[in-house]
A and B are shown apart, each in its own frame.
Chain A
Amino acid sequence: MKYMLLIYADQSNLPDYSPEERLASVQEWSALMTEMKTAGIVLGNDGLAPAVDATSVRFRDGKALIADGPFAETHEQLGGYIMLECKDLDEALSWAVRLPGAKFGTIEVRPVNTYTQARDAAVARKA
């Protein structure tokens, strides 16, 4: 199954790392990414620009409404994602818990609906 690991953190309150700690954190991230890529399960990953750089778009009553900022003003904001192919939820959770971001932020693990799954669900509903 595909799982999206959504990495949330409070961007105004990130850990106050010393240069050595920052380097250690970067190394921890890159070692883990290498490990996941070697395991052949990474389908995609990126970090996101800070939430202040986000723009939110809605279309209501025939009009586009453009607003500055993220979908919701919360303390913890989406900062990046990793898309994984795992055999089950426990495998996805075992990677999520090892992400350095899990130590100060929150990792949300969301199953990704593939076309086949959506079709299965539709068939099940009709039955």
Chain B
Amino acid sequence: MTAAAQIETTFRAEHGRVLAALISQLGDFTLAEDALQDALVNALESWPTSGVPRNPGAWLTTVARRRAIDRLRRTSNRETDSDILDTFAADEEETEMESIPDDRLKLMFTCCHPSLPLEGQVALTLHTLGGLSTAEIARAFLVPVPTMAQRLARARAKIHNAGIPYRVPPADLLPERLDALLAVIYLIFNEGYVTTSGDVSMRSDLCVEAVRLCRLLVDLLPDSAEARGLLALMLLHDSRRETRLDKAGNLVLLDDQDRSRWDRAKINEGVTILDDALLLYAPGPYQVQAAISALHAEAVTPDATDWHQIAALYGTLAMMIPSPVIEVNRAVAVAMAGSPADGLSLLHRIKGVEKFYPYHAARADLLRRTHQREAAADAYEQALALCGNSAERAYLQRQLNDMLNLNS
């Protein structure tokens, strides 16, 4: 690794922990960020010649604290500042990182406070805990750098102006705030996983970053079954990353993916983490989705998929988060488990999915399998009219041609 790359890696690894500690000590989000920025500039100047210190996090914390004092001395001499200065003077020489409490959980909850706009939560989480630069986040979300800089500045200002607390929420607020935090992490992952536009390497960085944030969350909040569930879910999805797009960048359907290229290490880790989560006996939608993903991942061929279990899990999921999309998946799983007629009657009972092409595609497939060719052709046409994905469209068109006997 080059010196520059080593410094970059160190910054990323230490950023969240150091910043979280600084915010606790300074009681000021913006001052802490500015001071850390100063310390990073110092490091960039001195580390290439002196080498990366033995304990880079402690080094950055100490230097940032000194820079914060400098900044406070420069800007004013208010009472509160001299209080902070007194506190600092006492422990300025402290350099052992182990003695600094890990406050990253507070930082996570503050960045994901529901009073911040969602895009601000995402950007701030990536910036503060992931150590990503404004330019990197801008590139990942396909917005100009000044736009992203402004988004970060507004979120930071709101934390201060609205009095958003810097703490782990108390027990009565924890469940809903944790849901919001998990949603932000999953959104970061999906931004990297699902979107097909933009810089490919930056997008996969988002997946890596989401997994890293979730690992950290599991470490800091080991009793949360859903945090483990989300980590398992992302690892299991990510195991298929290499096979889900073809060379032209088109989506490859699950059935058509080369299963020998799925990442076994990620699958095994995902399954192990899911098992740990289930042992906490606090079921939730991420764990159920991870279980579904695990059943797909463990099937050696598409035919070996345990559709009975998957259908049952979709039933559970639909009770946890009622959604017509989940009902469609459940109906498909029931059909795949061997009862296309049952699947079809389930499908026909779902309301509010007229604009959702997978509904029509699923209906078309089940009509075909129950030998209702005209109705199937009709449904394939409706699905084609709504579908924008080229791999899916090619499949739907082939099926439609077949129904209309155009292939013979």
Chain A residues near B (Cβ < 8 Å): 1, 3, 86-90, 92-93, 111, 113, 117, 121, 123-124, 126-127
Q: How far is the CB of B29 from chain A (nearest CB, A)?
A: 12
What is the number of residues of chain B that contact chain A, defined by CB distance less than 8 Å?
Answer: 14
B75 at the interface (CB under 8 A from A): yes
17 contacts between A and B (CB under 8 A): A1-B163, A86-B163, A88-B163, A88-B164, A89-B113, A89-B162, A89-B164, A89-B165, A90-B173, A92-B163, A111-B162, A111-B163, A117-B161, A121-B161, A123-B75, A126-B75, A127-B75
Contact B165 A88 (CB under 8 A): yes
Contact of B169 among A86, A90, A117, A124 (CB under 8 A): A90
Which A-B residue pairs are the 9 nearest by beta carbons?
A: A88-B165, A1-B163, A89-B163, A88-B163, A127-B75, A111-B162, A89-B164, A89-B162, A90-B165
Whether A124 touches B162, Cβ cut-off 8 Å, given contacts A89-B115, A90-B169, A90-B173, is no
B71 proximal to A (CB < 8 A)? yes
7 further interface pairs, Cβ-Cβ under 8 Å (given A88-B163, A88-B165, A93-B115): A87-B163, A89-B115, A123-B76, A124-B30, A124-B75, A126-B75, A127-B71
A92 to B165, CA, bound (A): 11
A117-B160 Cα distance, complex, nearest whole Å: 10
**Distance in Å: Cβ of A88 to nearest Cβ of chain B:** 4
- Determine the main DSSP class of B at the interface with A: loop
Binding site for A on B (CB under 8 A): 30, 71, 74-76, 113, 115, 161-165, 169, 173
Output the least CB separation between A30 and chain B (Å). Answer: 24
CB distance from B307 to the nearest CB of A (A): 43
Residues of B within 8 A of A124 (CB): 30, 75
Give chain A residues whose Cβ lies under 8 Å from the Cβ of B162.
89, 111
A102 to chain B, nearest CB (A): 15
Cβ 8 A contact of A111, one of B74, B76, B161: B161
Which residue of A has the minimal Cβ distance to B177? A90
Q: How far is the CA of A35 from the CA of B137 in the complex (A)?
A: 46
Q: Which residues of A contact B113 (CB under 8 A)?
A: 89
CA distance A93 to B173 in the complex (A): 11
A90 to chain B, nearest CB (A): 5
**B122 shortest CB reach to chain A, Å:** 20
Nearest Cβ distance between residue A82 and chain B, in whole angstroms? 16
Collect the chain A residues with CB atoms within 8 Å of residue B75's CB: 123-124, 126-127
Q: Which residues of A contact B164 (CB under 8 A)?
A: 88-90
Tell me the minimal C-beta distance from A8 to chain B in angstroms.
17
* Nearest-Cβ distance from residue B152 to partner chain A, whole angstroms: 16
CA distance A124 to B81 in the complex (A): 13
A127 B169 Cβ-Cβ under 8 A: no
CB-nearest residue of chain B to A126:
B75
User: Inside 8 A of B74's CB, which chain A residues have their CB?
Assistant: 127
Task: Find chain B residues with CB under 8 A from A92 CB.
Answer: 163
Chain B nearest CB from A106 CB (Å) reads 14
Report chain B residues within 8 Å CB of A87. Answer: 163, 165
Contacts of A90 in B (CB 8 A): 164-165, 169, 173
Query: Which single residue of chain A is at the shortest CB-CB distance from B172?
Result: A94
Determine the chain A residues whose CB is within 8 A of the CB of B169 once the complex forms: 90
Report chain A residues within 8 Å CB of B173: 90
Q: How far is the CB of B146 from chain A (nearest CB, A)?
A: 18
Measured CA separation A70–B206 after assembly (Å): 47
In the bound complex, residues from chain B placing their C-beta under 8 Å from that of A88 are 163-165
Residue of A nearest to B161 (CB): A111
- How far, in whole Å, are A93 and B71 apart by their CA atoms in the complex? 33
A93 to B, closest residue via Cβ? B115
How far does the Cβ of B214 sit from chain A's closest Cβ, in whole Å? 24
Task: Please name the residue on chain A nearest to B166 by beta carbon.
Answer: A88
